[in-house]
């Protein structure tokens, strides 16, 4: 069965969202993940958008978090303040975030690349709501391509907290206990976090990918789960729905070429 890297990541991440859960998503890949999950195994997935859309039934791919489609057949058209207070009250299970860099504890950088904040090599968009979402949602998901520059030994700037410096660091910083990074889905593997030391670990390898290949694409040593599985491949049903209903115009799927 033919599929590209973006399709593989979307189908893999969609499986992680259980029916009846709540998830804050942005546009692009996270939105495609939520739409696919709703149309397959999680029809009661409650999707929230930062601009205020609560539980919409998305007809087509929105182009922004404030797009009118993010309110389509929803239960509430609220505001950013309402979405953030839901997170602060512990009512949001998942959020999807990204960044230019991620480290071994799941901390993210979406602020700048370089050593000088005033004169960066690259100025990035910044946090937006990412710091708030990662601080208060129960589980943070990341979907990203896998390469050594992105999986960095040290962030150029810490925009969004993961497990910070390791076990107990989130709680010491005043963040709610039992929250934090959950999964990283890449074009090579699915990664989680070790229960004791909180470092990133490989949970499954995609078909045809080796451990050595994943480690070479990462700038820090990775833990490996005791039982290392092969990631299930996308099914024909998943791919059909993804291509014909979720993203027929290939706004997201087309990024893989």
Tens of pLDDT, residue by residue over 49-99, are: 999 999 999 888 998 888 999 999 999 999 999 999 999 999 999 999 999
The per-residue pLDDT for 256 is 75
Q: What is the pLDDT of residues 219-229, one digit of tens each?
A: 999 999 999 99
pLDDT above 80: residue 141? yes
**Mean per-residue pLDDT of the chain:** 96
From the CA atom positions of the chain, what is the Rg in Å?
18
Q: Per residue in 28-51, pLDDT tens?
A: 999 999 999 999 999 999 999 999
Give every CB contact of residue 172 below 8 A, 6+ residues apart in sequence: none
pLDDT in tens, 189-233: 999 999 999 999 999 999 999 999 999 999 999 999 999 999 999
Catalytic residues, which ones?
A: 50
Task: State the Cα–Cα distance between residues 146 and 254, nearest whole angstrom.
Answer: 18
Going by C-alpha positions, the residue among 30, 23, 42 that lies closest to residue 86 is: 23
- Residue 257, pLDDT score: 60
Strand partners, 23: 47, 94
**Average pLDDT for residues 134-163, to the nearest whole number?**
98
Q: What is the dihedral angle through the alpha carbons of 98, 217, 149, 182, rounded to the nearest 10 degrees? A: 30
Which domains are delineated in the chain?
5-256 (3.40.1080.10)
Residue 1: pLDDT over 90? no
H or E stretch at 83: helix 80-88
User: Which of 247, 191, 239, 243 is closest to 28 using CA atoms?
Assistant: 247
Task: Please check the confidence at residue 255 and state whether its pLDDT lies above 90.
Answer: no
Any idea what the Cα angle at residue 99 is, between residues 149 and 7, rounded to 5°?
Answer: 90
pLDDT tens readout for residues 85-134: 999 999 999 999 999 999 999 999 999 999 999 999 999 999 989 999 99
Pair 8, 234: CB distance under 8 Å: yes
pLDDT of 147 higher than 70: yes
Residue 44 CB neighbours (<10 A):
10
Rounded Cα distance between 219 and 147, Å, is: 8
């Amino acid at each position: 069965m033919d599929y590209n890297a973006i399709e593989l990541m979307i189908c893999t991440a969609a499986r992680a969202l259980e029916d009846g859960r709540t998830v804050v998503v942005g546009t692009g890949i996270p939105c495609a993940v939520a739409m696919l999950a709703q149309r397959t195994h999680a029809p009661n997935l409650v999707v929230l958008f930062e601009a205020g859309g609560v539980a919409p039934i998305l007809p087509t791919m929105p182009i922004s978090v404030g797009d009118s489609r993010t309110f389509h057949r929803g239960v509430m058209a609220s505001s950013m303040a309402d979405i953030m207070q839901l997170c602060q009250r512990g009512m949001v299970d998942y959020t999807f975030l990204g960044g230019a860099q991620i480290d071994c504890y799941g901390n993210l950088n979406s602020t700048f690349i370089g050593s000088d904040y005033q004169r960066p090599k690259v100025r990035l968009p910044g946090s937006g709501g990412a710091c708030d979402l990662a601080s208060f949602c129960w589980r943070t998901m990341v979907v990203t391509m896998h390469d050594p520059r992105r999986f960095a030994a040290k962030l150029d700037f810490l925009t969004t907290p993961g497990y910070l410096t390791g076990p107990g660091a989130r709680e010491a910083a005043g963040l709610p206990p039992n929250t934090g990074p959950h999964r990283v889905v890449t074009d090579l593997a699915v990664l989680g976090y070790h229960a004791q030391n909180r470092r990133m670990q490989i949970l499954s390898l995609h078909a045809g990918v080796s451990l050595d290949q994943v480690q070479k694409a990462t700038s820090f040593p990775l833990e490996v789960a005791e039982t290392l599985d092969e990631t299930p491949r996308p099914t024909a049903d998943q791919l059909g729905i993804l291509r014909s209903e979720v993203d027929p115009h290939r706004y997201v799927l087309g990024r893989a070429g």
